């Protein structure tokens, strides 16, 4: 197929003039096409249509294009139909980015009864509750020392993360105090615990821990989702407790997801070894394995999908045959939005990656490649088959 034909199809798509057959052909051409050719054609389209009213500047459009093309393919499975790919991502974002007056009439994203609220992605947001009940809003706090508790200095670093440093000579006689770090919906945060263990908290999560670890074990409590890189100390095992379950660690990297709105608690081991215990049952995980605890107390070990599990920590949404409910729970927590299904829950399965840094409208446009429709009203996402 000639480059000119591809150019004509792209131009017709931007103007909302393509037929369903032409759109399918265009998706296939872009999915298998040369990235450099695609960029050149898009440059030509920009120049040919400078009179159009853009939503993004040309510089932002180029930035989006650079971000989109390297992203691994997005596909959606609906029965036996497979949609792809970087091409669909490219088209759906580009159509919203460069054409306002000529945007496709079928698009429902952004139609909010003339009341448009820009919903931005989450970021570094958390509160720290000290032992005396004082609450520090970390995004508002200045860098440097925040407090001293239990002989441990609490510091907000320039990187935005929190660190606990024991003060030599004073920590030995001071009692430990419990602190709680909590992220809201739309927040995430990183903390270095007193023993050097690093913890990343996902949105709507919390970790409660002492300002210094004493006794025979290092014990913390977690709600929501957290990724741990545990400092090795064979004489003082690291224990994570959540919802009646316990994860026992010596020195390792693992992810724990224990949200109240998820049916399964998942402990995923990246490296090292952990023991997952529930009542009188326990299993020892090997790297690449995941322990799943269901609502009835049943536990099983499966091969872990590390890419999907750790995507949130790496700034991505990654889905491998995820249901629309699984997808929307992640999106709901990260963008702090309510999701409703007034006409029932679609049965689509999603596979692919998207940046967590994108605005909600861009993310939903990508998902619309499945044929699922979304409407945004304020901070509510309405999902329709």
Which of 261, 292, 314 corresponds to the end of one domain?
314
Which of 98, 131, 165 corresponds to the end of one domain?
98
- Which is more confidently placed, 122 or 250? 122
pTM to 2 decimals? 0.72
Average pLDDT over residues 191-213: 95
88-97, 164-173, 322-331, 344-353: segment of lowest average pLDDT: 88-97
Which of 290, 314, 338 corresponds to the end of one domain?
314
Average pLDDT value for the chain: 79
Q: Is residue 327 part of a domain?
A: no
Q: Is residue 308 part of a domain?
A: yes
Q: Is residue 341 part of a domain?
A: no
Domain with 53 in it: 3-98
Q: How far is CA 370 from CA 29, 250, 347, in A?
A: 18, 44, 10
Domain count for the chain: 2
Which of 319, 305, 229, 225 is closest to 265 using CA atoms?
A: 225
Q: Is residue 14 part of a domain?
A: yes
Alpha-carbon distance of 211 to 191, in angstroms, equals 12
Alpha-carbon distance of 84 to 111, in angstroms, equals 26
Q: Is residue 328 part of a domain?
A: no
Q: Is residue 184 part of a domain?
A: no
Give me the pLDDT at residue 299, please: 92
Alpha-carbon distance of 199 to 189, in angstroms, equals 8
Phi, psi of 308 (to 5 degrees): -70, -40
Q: Is residue 175 part of a domain?
A: no
Average pLDDT over residues 146-168: 85
Q: Is residue 83 part of a domain?
A: yes
DSSP per-residue codes, 177-207: -EEEEE--TTEEEEEE-TTS-EEEE-TT-EE
Q: What is the CATH number of the domain that holds 241?
A: 2.60.120.1440
């Amino acid at each position: 197929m000639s480059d000119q034909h591809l150019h004509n199809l792209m131009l017709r798509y931007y103007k909302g003039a393509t037929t369903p057959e032409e759109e399918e052909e265009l998706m296939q051409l872009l999915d298998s096409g040369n990235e450099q050719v695609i960029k050149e054609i898009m440059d030509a389209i920009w120049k040919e249509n400078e009179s159009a009213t853009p939503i993004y500047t040309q510089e932002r459009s180029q930035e989006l294009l650079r971000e989109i093309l390297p992203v691994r393919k997005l596909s959606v499975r609906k029965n036996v139909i497979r949609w792809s790919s970087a091409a669909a991502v490219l088209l759906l974002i580009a159509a919203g980015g460069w054409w306002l007056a000529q945007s496709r009439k079928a698009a429902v994203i952004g139609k909010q009864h003339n009341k448009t609220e820009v919903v931005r992605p989450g970021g570094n947001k958390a509160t720290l509750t000290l032992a005396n009940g004082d609450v520090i809003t970390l995004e508002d706090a200045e860098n440097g020392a925040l407090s001293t508790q239990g002989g441990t200095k609490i510091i907000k670093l320039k990187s935005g993360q929190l660190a606990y440093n024991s003060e030599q000579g004073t920590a030995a006689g001071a009692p430990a105090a419990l602190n709680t770090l909590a992220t809201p919906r739309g927040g995430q945060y990183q903390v270095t615990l007193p023993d050097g263990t690093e913890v990343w908290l996902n949105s709507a999560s919390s970790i409660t821990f002492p300002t210094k670890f004493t006794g025979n074990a290092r014990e913390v409590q977690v709600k929501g989702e957290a990724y741990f890189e545990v400092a090795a100390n064979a004489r003082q095992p690291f224990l994570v407790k959540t919802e009646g379950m316990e994860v026992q660690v010596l020195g390792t990297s693992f992810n724990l997801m224990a949200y109240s709105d998820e049916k399964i608690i998942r402990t995923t081991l990246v490296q090292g070894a952990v023991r997952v215990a529930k009542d009188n049952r326990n299993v020892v995980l090997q790297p690449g394995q995941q322990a799943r605890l269901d609502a009835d107390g049943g536990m099983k070990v499966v091969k872990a999908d590390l890419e999907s599990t750790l995507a949130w920590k790496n700034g991505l949404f990654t889905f491998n045959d995820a249901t629309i409910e699984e997808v929307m729970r992640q999106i709901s927590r990260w963008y702090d939005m309510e999701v409703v299904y007034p006409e029932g829950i679609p049965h689509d399965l999603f596979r692919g990656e998207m940046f967590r840094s994108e605005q909600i409208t861009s993310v939903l446009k990508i998902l619309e490649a499945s044929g699922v429709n979304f409407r945004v009203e304020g901070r509510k996402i309405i999902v329709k088959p």
